[in-house]
Amino acid sequence: MAASFLFGQFMGGLTTAMFLFLIASGLSLVFGIMRVINFAHGSFYMLGAYLAWQAVQWVHPTGAGFWIAALFSAATVGLLGAVVERLFFRSLYGREELYQLLFTYALVLILGDAAKFIWGVDQLSVSTPPVLAGSVQLFGSTQPLYSLFIIVLGPIIAFLGWLGINKTGVGRLVRAAQMDREMLDALGANVGTIYTGMFVFASCLAGLSGALITPIQSIVPGMDVLIIVQAFIVVVIGGMGSFWGTFWGSVIYGQVLSFGILIFPGFSLFSVFALMAVILIVRPWGLFGRPL
């Protein structure tokens, strides 16, 4: 097996990983801090994709059109997240997980139908922005520029997120809210605003990932369900609520998928699910998580 081929598979795995990290990080964040399992996170991702397509139709695909569309998606989905959190999630905190699951699942159905109603059932496609449409030769394998962009973007966002959580005043409040919500409340901090802020941030990330995936995937109804399953596997492997867990969980997922098809060519699904099963048996709280 040629080294260039292995390198190509490795880079492919990294691209998958970074996309998954962008979306799974929001899921993990919301669970880690607010203890809410948000199934509708995948729906936000899907809406981000559809909104990006819509924005590109309005702005017309000029050079900057795609980036404007991506920001538009992030902002709009963030706003939607704020509305959903304020109106509905408030009453779910601290309640039985079953209610949270039921509500977010209902949200999945509602948002799915809304998307179908607005954009129909046809598969939609957005072209890669021209500045990133080419490819380069690296170590004998062809690397699409867009993949390289995503591979670089992932760790940047991870680093910024880590900085934000660990080195800022707001980040300290967020970590405190994760540790002991009631105490923080008693100390006078506005926990409600922190929660809303976190949820909006996670939703923005979901919307942004949805927009960024459009050059390399078709936008179809059902992409919300597909992505949420993958995001869950990543978070299970890495550890619910752990930021670096999600990062490394994504990297592992990407590489297992990439090389899994070489070891089990007929069973592309098998390798990732097998990994998740092993983790659940050996270390159920994930590689970097803490026992709940």
Partner 1 sequence: MALHHRLAVLCAAAAFLPLGARAADTIKIGFPIPLSGPTAVYGKPLLQGAQMAVAEINAKGGVLGKKLEILSRDSKANADEAVRLSRELIIKDNVDFLVGTLTSAEAPAVSTVAKENKIVFIAPTSKSTILTDAQHIHPYIFRVSSNTDVEGDAGATEMAKFKDVKTVVTIGPDYAYGRDSIAAFIKALKQKAPNMQVVDSQWPKLGEPDFTAFINAMLSKNPDAVYCSLFAGDFVTFTKEATPLGLFKKIKNQLVDPAEVGTTDEAQALGADYPYGIVADAYDPVVWGGGNEPAEHKKFVEDLKAFTHDKYASGWSIVAYESIYALAEGIKKAGSTKSDAVSKALEGLTFDTPVGKRSFSVKSHETFSPEYWGTMSKDPNYPFAIIKDPELLPTDFKPS
By CB under 8 A, residue 151 contacts partner 1: no
Tokens at 74, concatenated: 């992030």
Any idea what DSSP says for residue 219?
Answer: B
Among 106, 133, 152, 179, binds partner 1 (CB under 8 A): 133
Chain residues 189-228 in contact with partner 1, contact rule CB under 8 A: 215-218, 220-223, 226-227
Per-residue mark of binding to partner 1, 39-68 (x: CB under 8 A): ------------------------------
> What token pair was written down for 156?
């940047």
**Applying CB under 8 A, which of residues 135, 151, 165, 244 lies at the interface with partner 1?**
135
Residues 68-97: x/- map of binding to partner 1 (CB under 8 A)? ------------------------------
Instruction: Compute the least distance from the CB of residue 207 to partner 1, in Å.
Output: 17
SS3 138: strand
Please tell me the distance from the alpha carbon of residue 236 to that of residue 233, in angstroms, as a whole number: 5
Q: How many Å apart are CA 170 and CA 160, to the nearest integer?
A: 13
Q: Are the CB atoms for 259 and 215 separated by under 8 Å?
A: no
Which one, of 225, 265, 214, 258, lies nearest residue 15 by Cα?
Answer: 258
| Residue type, position 282, single letter | V
Task: Supply the minimum distance, in Å, between the C-beta of residue 62 and partner 1.
Answer: 15
Where in 88-160 does DSSP place strands (E)?
135-138, 141-144
Token couple for 100:
């949270």
The site for partner 1 (CB under 8 A) is made up of 1-2, 5, 8-9, 12-13, 15-16, 19, 109, 112-113, 116-117, 121-125, 127-128, 133-135, 141-142, 144-147, 215-218, 220-223, 226-227, 230, 257-259, 261-262, 265-266, 268-269
